[in-house]
């Protein structure tokens, strides 16, 4: 997935080539064709929060707070 996001090539073309589509070509509509980019660095704190969410609300609920105030 990281390789897919980091590529400079058309995203649809990359996928079609991975599926052995001999007619794969630039789509002109994906983020790469339109000049958009994706962030390549992920905040470690967000990864930790996502891990808690994946395990459910009983897994460290204090880590799920979106505010800095522990009273909220």
Residues 8-17 pLDDT 10s: 899 999 999 9
**What tens digit of pLDDT does each residue of 27-63 get?**
999 989 998 776 767 788 888 888 777 776 665 555 5
How many whole angstroms separate alpha carbon 3 and alpha carbon 29?
A: 20
CB atoms within 10 A of CB 43: 9
Contact 64, 53 (CB under 8 A): yes
pTM of the model: 0.48
Q: How far is CA 35 from CA 25, 38, 53, in A?
A: 16, 10, 32
């Amino acid at each position: 997935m990281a390789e897919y996001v980091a590529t400079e090539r058309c995203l649809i073309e990359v996928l079609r080539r991975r599926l052995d589509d001999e007619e794969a070509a630039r789509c002109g509509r994906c983020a790469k064709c339109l000049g958009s980019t994706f962030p390549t660095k992920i905040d470690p704190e967000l990864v930790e929060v996502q891990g808690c969410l994946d395990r459910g609300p009983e897994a460290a609920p204090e880590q799920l707070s979106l505010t800095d105030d522990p009273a909220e």
